Amino acid sequence: MDVLGRNNVQVSGTGERTLVFVHGFGCDQSMWRLVAPAFEDRYRVVLLDLVGAGQSDLAAYDFERYSTLEAHADDLLAVLRALDLPPVALVAHSVSAIIGMLAAIREPARFAGLVMLGPSPHYLNEPGYAGGFERSDIDELLDVMASNYLGWAGAFAPVVMGAPEQPALRDELNASFCRTDPAIARHFAGVIFLGDNRADLPRLRTPTLVVQSAHDAIAPRAVGTYVHQQLPGSQLVVVNTTGHCAHLSAPRETIAAITPFLDALPMPATLQPA
């Protein structure tokens, strides 16, 4: 299977600029349905599923290869090469914000800008750094995923989604978790929650907007501030919503937060061969 089929790449919209949307853990490209269409009248819009998620080729998920986020960054760059795109703006949620950062560090000429929605480079509390979780919290999470995956999904979905006034979103996220292969989900969760990409932040030179939910139990506001402070020249916008999925709980506010940044990016020039 070619890389576009492997990652279930879908292209829509018109325009000289291209927006690439990448989803977070336990989700797929459908999670952008309330945001991505708002840009289709003036942008080429590219959606994809991370390998192991959605309608991607699940057989391509090699547990050893995907033991770091670098493999997903490889996949993202392969998709951009296959589409032969000029420099793109990447809108990436949660773990994919870090995946996008790694890809942009490696091949900066492919990226005009990066929107990080709810990023976290490290989820564990450390001296001088409040990641939001103790190691015992993550160990317990991984243990429950292994012993009672459906029970974990039902308990974790409302924590991630927040927005208790919108229970349909909680149910949608729970269903998305339940559609994900449990072994892949647990493996990917370990890679995410035990990883540490803080040292990579200062290496990023792509213009970046950090979009932070006002109340987020997964990537707390202090983490968004930390990411902004560590990224040279980045911008920070706080969306007044609860939960880790502002693109679902507050799509209009998310669109309003990212549009000025995207529109201010320069028109793409032709990508020069490396």
- At 270, is the pLDDT very low, low, confident or very high (cuts 50, 70, 90)? low
Q: What tens digit of pLDDT does each residue of 167-226 get?
A: 999 999 999 999 999 999 999 999 999 999 999 999 999 999 999 999 999 999 999 999
Rounded-to-integer distance, Cα 197 and Cα 219, Å: 14
Task: Judge whether 270 lies within some domain.
Answer: no
d(CA 117, CA 52): 21
Q: What pLDDT is attached to residue 228? A: 98
**CA nearest to 88, candidates 116, 117, 113, 115:** 113
Would residue 273 count as lying in a domain? no
How far is the C-alpha of 105 from the C-alpha of 204, rounded, in Å? Answer: 5
Is residue 252 a part of any domain in this protein? yes
Q: Is 216 a catalytic residue?
A: yes
Alpha carbons 122 and 140: distance in angstroms, whole number? 17
Structure tokens at 205: 């030179």
Q: Which of 28, 49, 75, 216 is catalytic?
A: 216
Q: What is the token pair recorded at 14?
A: 């018109």
Tens-digit pLDDT profile for residues 124-137: 999 999 999 999 99
Mean pLDDT of 21-50: 97
* 274 within some domain: no
Is 208 in contact with 196 (CB distance < 8 Å)? no
Residue from 23, 75, 94, 96 carrying the catalytic annotation:
94
Q: How far apart are CA 28 and CA 52, in angstroms?
A: 10
Q: How many CA atoms lie within 13 A of 273 on its CB side?
A: 0
* Domain residue limits at 43: 3-264
Q: Is residue 272 part of a domain?
A: no
Asked if the structure places residue 36 within a domain, the reply is yes
Average pLDDT of span 139-153: 96
Q: What's the structural domain count of the chain?
A: 1
Q: Kindly state the average pLDDT of the residues 5-9.
A: 97
Residue type, position 213, single letter: S
Question: Is 139 a known active-site residue?
Answer: no
**Exposed/middle/buried for residue 197 (C-beta within 10 Å: 0-12, 13-18, 19+):** buried
* Residue in the block written with tokens 């990447």: 90
Cα separation, 64 vs 59, in Å, equals 13
The one catalytic residue in 72, 122, 244, 247 is 244
Residue 153 lies in a domain: yes
Residue 259 CB partners (closer than 8 Å, separation 6+): none
176: CATH: 3.40.50.1820
In a domain, 76, yes or no: yes
Contacts 24+ apart (CB under 8 A), 28-34: 28/53, 28/54, 28/55, 28/176, 29/54, 30/54, 31/93, 31/176, 31/245, 31/247, 31/248, 32/91, 32/247, 34/247, 34/248, 34/251
187 is catalytic: no
In this predicted model, what pLDDT tens digit does every residue of 62-118 receive, in sequence order?
999 999 999 999 999 999 999 998 999 999 999 999 999 999 999 999 999 999 999
